[in-house]
Structure 1
Amino acid sequence: MWGAPAEPADSYYEVRPECTDVPTTKFKIKPGKTLSVRKWQAAFSPDGQLDISKTLGRIHRGGIHPTIRGEVWEFLLCCFDPRSTYEEREELRLERREQYEKLKAVCHEIFPVIGSGQFITAPVITEDGQPIEEPLVLQEASNAAGVETHNSTEIVKDMISKGPLDKRIVNWLLLLHQIGLDVKRTDRSLVFYEKQENLSKLWDILAVYAWIDTDVGYCQGMSDLCSPMIILLEHEADAFWCFERLMRRLRGNFRCTESSVGVESQLSHLAMVTQVIDPKLHQHLETLGGGDYLFAVRMLMVLFRREFSFCDSLYLWEMMWALEYDPDLFYLYEEPSMEESSKLKSRSMRNYGKFERENMKMKGEEAPLPISVFLVASVLKDKSTQLLHEARGLDDVVKILNDITGSLDAKKACNEAIKLHKKYLKKASQQPKLT
């Protein structure tokens, strides 16, 4: 209701009382600005088609009310087409849940700890496919009835007794303990993760994803991206598909080869943007040996999860996704037919996010840069004076950037990123092109 006081959102993501050093949120639920339950429901037609343009601007202005955050994210991450009906979405949701259960059953068949309510934090296999003999500790809440205890060494021995293990299986098994170690460290300040079933759910989702994405598998940082999905979406399969859609955008950052890491391309873009908008800072960083911008890896890899409070990082993400929103992505993800592809051209520009509309005005062969690059650039520009005057080495750069943890304003950072984006596009278009 207009005139009502802003409500802090911390209460929706309860922190364990002993965690006294956790930064508090700056995000407040503001009546008239935050996307409320009432405004969200009013954006749907009687049969369930969503007028997405009504919600994008409001999300940018004031974020999403925590009680509807999960279902709105499913649209922002293009799990659903806004033009679909309630009935069509329910049918698709059931299909996806069934698909996830089949994938999970395959993983359980290979390694029965998957889906058991337990997870592992120690390796179970060597790189040449042999079982590790050390006794394995399975993480579990209790010895409650109905919880089957698995001996992972015996599982691997049984697998090997049937013949040499497929390389894909060996590579996957090698990842499982690392996932378990990261799960134990992820958002450990939240009361939500005091429950073993929630930790196990996070492990299961990441393990299943690692099985299907044979190119990327699992890398550190992916648990930080997946964790909010578990918290916001009650059904495990829904959380999985939300995470899978997010990884479609970000998986390039995690793809590694013998000679490079995927995020390097975004770091080079960040260097290019900084050189255009703040050449003095870029030159200073190069002089310090930081021209590769490796100090910004964490910000790009996990989308500022460590620089913001938990609640503020969610607020930042949904603003980013609203600004970048492209309604065509749903069909691109679903592998459209030619007939469906032709329909995409007639969409109104108002159904695209503000940042995406600016990109669409630029006609070029190169793919547009993600807003995350401009967010990092906005942080660097904000700290430009301090970096120029106080940074005498890379350690100083890292320290200055580490000190921003908990002090950044998500909305201000997004607005500044949009300004830098426009400035960059304008300056880049004025530069002479190489022939």
Structure 2
Amino acid sequence: MFYKCTRIFMPRSEVGEVKSHYPIRPECQADAPKTRFKPRARKTLSPRRWQAAFTEDGHLDIAGVLKRIQRGGIHPSIRGEVWEFLLGCYDPNSTSNERKELRQHRREQYAAWKSECQKMVPVIGSGKIIMVPIVTEDGQPIKDPSINGGLAINGGVIPSSAALDKKMTRWKLSLPQIGLDVVRTDGVLVFYESEANQAKLWDVLAIYAWTDNDIGYVQGMNDICSAMIILLENEADAFWCFQRAMRKLRENFRSDANSMGVQTQLRALSGIVRVIDPKLHQHLEALDAGEYLFALRMLMVLFRREFSFADSLYLWEVMWAMEYNPQLFATYEGSNAVDINTADKKLMKQFGKFERNNLKTGKSDQKNALAVFLAASYLEKKHKQLLKKAKGLDDIVTILANSTSNSDARKELKKALNIQQKYLKKTKATA
């Protein structure tokens, strides 16, 4: 079965208020999470401030930009282009011409990958979405009686079995799952009433899955990618922004017979709660919840389903600004880690607030990511309720779900930073 799509675009005139940037379908208004984020004068990074942050040849004052984002997020009208810097698509020390050349190179690379995928599965780029299997587990084409008079198809081609190597089979098996996830992604938004936009999301995820030889596609990636599809009109640009986001997040999606990648963060969460709230940690262990699997979804997709769409974007950009580390870019690969004792003040300002704290304490690693402290703050906020009412894992999940439905992302981030300071203080005292 294929999902037919028609090309429709969001009006370019929808700028200004947050709601007009990410309008919600009328029939979903009552049940959709409330949006709390609003651009704030002299705090939110505005279009004027953003333009003023560039020198004449295009160098970006990243320190000033980070400071502004950490105070009040990014105005929706410039969010996509700012994210490209936050996620490392571009080096802030590059010029406008250098970025123009790099953007063109990446668009050409994406086009080449898309062409490669289209040769294997012509549905890609056609405005359609695959939602049923096209190959068996051993890579054999599946017959679809509704197409071509029952001929065996493989996304539109009929290759020999010998041509279906292990990578191709795994990839083709993932395509219908991507399709099923796509049609369920952010369904409350008017943007995804356009089937063309759904197809765009499916194409990007399908091509990413082909290029990621190790992990491929895992459910939850659609929640991350959706934001890039909405923020960046050009499909190739959206792909590269998502690809850079996955550099930060892809280990969360790693899974094998023995473990899941997100377990590293779950163990870090367990260690933090053990230090800051030992009584709660003991209670959770007694409920056989000591592995903190109830927080798996929160950490895997960065609280995407705990907030409204607009609040999620605000949450992510502030977290990324706080964790910003210029050494993570390709232009810095191979360079030595920053020595906090010798680094000058100008260099240190190019790091986010959270990352600077980690550098000072020698705890700059993924397991101490801000998202983990955010999860810990939710648990501490629900300390009394969890101790009194939680009798099992289902109770924990219900209590936490109720705590996030109307949460204020700005306040929650502030609490997370307080949790970090509390944790660092206690661990330092016991060191």
Tell me the TM-score normalised to structure 1 length: 0.89
What is the CA deviation profile of residues 148-181 of structure 1, one whole-angstrom value per residue up to 9, with x for unaligned ones?
A: x999943469543373411111110000000000
User: AA paired with 1:201?
Assistant: K
Among 56, 69, 79, the residue aligned to 1:69:
79
For 2:393 and 2:181, locate their aligned partners in 1 and report how far apart those are by CA, in whole Å.
27
Q: Per-residue deviation at 1:131?
A: 1.7
What is the CA deviation profile of residues 251-285 of structure 1, one whole-angstrom value per residue up to 9, with x for unaligned ones?
A: 11111111111111111110001111111111111
User: AA paired with 2:185?
Assistant: T
8 Å contact 1:299–1:376 — kept in the other structure? yes
Equivalent residues in 2 for 1:102-251, closer than 5 Å: 102-135=112-145, 153-155=152-154, 158-161=157-160, 163-251=162-250
Alignment of 1:39 with 2:38, yes or no, is: no
What is the CA deviation profile of residues 17-51 of structure 1, one whole-angstrom value per residue up to 9, with x for unaligned ones?
A: 11131012011111121111011111111111110
Q: In the alignment, which residue of structure 1 is the partner of 2:96?
A: 86
User: AA paired with 1:379?
Assistant: Y
For 2:316 and 2:151, locate their aligned partners in 1 and report how far apart those are by CA, in whole Å.
38
Alignment of 1:97 with 2:97, yes or no, is: no
What secondary structure sits across from 2:326 in the alignment? coil
Q: Per-residue deviation at 1:58?
A: 1.4
What secondary structure sits across from 1:395 in the alignment? helix
Cα 1:340–1:352, aligned 2, differ >3 Å: closer, same or farther?
closer
Q: In the alignment, which residue of structure 2 is the partner of 1:144?
A: none
8 Å contact 1:119–1:200 — kept in the other structure? yes
Alignment of 1:58 with 2:68, yes or no, is: yes
Q: Per-residue deviation at 1:429?
A: 2.6
8 Å contact 2:208–2:243 — kept in the other structure? yes
Tell me the TM-score normalised to structure 2 length: 0.90
What secondary structure sits across from 1:163 in the alignment? helix
For 2:82 and 2:368, locate their aligned partners in 1 and report how far apart those are by CA, in whole Å.
24
User: AA paired with 1:383?
Assistant: K
Cα 1:96–1:111, aligned 2, differ >3 Å: closer, same or farther?
same
8 Å contact 2:142–2:154 — kept in the other structure? no
User: AA paired with 2:357?
Assistant: E
Equivalent residues in 2 for 1:2-41, closer than 5 Å: 9-19=18-28, 20-41=30-51
For 1:75 and 1:410, locate their aligned partners in 2 and report how far apart those are by CA, in whole Å.
22
Give the number of equivalent residue pairs. Answer: 412
5+ residue gaps, structure 1: 1-6, 138-148
Cα 1:126–1:426, aligned 2, differ >3 Å: closer, same or farther?
same
8 Å contact 1:8–1:25 — kept in the other structure? no
What secondary structure sits across from 1:21 in the alignment? coil
Q: In the alignment, which residue of structure 1 is the partner of 2:3?
A: none
For 2:423 and 2:336, locate their aligned partners in 1 and report how far apart those are by CA, in whole Å.
36
For 2:51 and 2:241, locate their aligned partners in 1 and report how far apart those are by CA, in whole Å.
21
Cα 1:411–1:349, aligned 2, differ >3 Å: closer, same or farther?
same
8 Å contact 1:305–1:313 — kept in the other structure? yes
5+ residue gaps, structure 2: 1-15
Cα 1:188–1:405, aligned 2, differ >3 Å: closer, same or farther?
same
What secondary structure sits across from 1:401 in the alignment? helix
8 Å contact 1:323–1:354 — kept in the other structure? yes
8 Å contact 1:159–1:165 — kept in the other structure? no
Cα 1:366–1:181, aligned 2, differ >3 Å: closer, same or farther?
closer
Identity across the alignment (%): 55
Cα 1:88–1:136, aligned 2, differ >3 Å: closer, same or farther?
farther
Q: Per-residue deviation at 1:422?
A: 1.9
Cα 1:340–1:357, aligned 2, differ >3 Å: closer, same or farther?
closer
Q: In the alignment, which residue of structure 2 is the partner of 1:146?
A: none
Equivalent residues in 2 for 1:220-369, closer than 5 Å: 220-331=219-330, 336=333, 348-363=347-362, 369=368
User: AA paired with 1:309?
Assistant: S
8 Å contact 2:140–2:161 — kept in the other structure? no
User: AA paired with 1:262?
Assistant: G
8 Å contact 2:143–2:151 — kept in the other structure? no
Q: In the alignment, which residue of structure 2 is the partner of 1:4?
A: none
Superposition RMSD in Å:
2.4
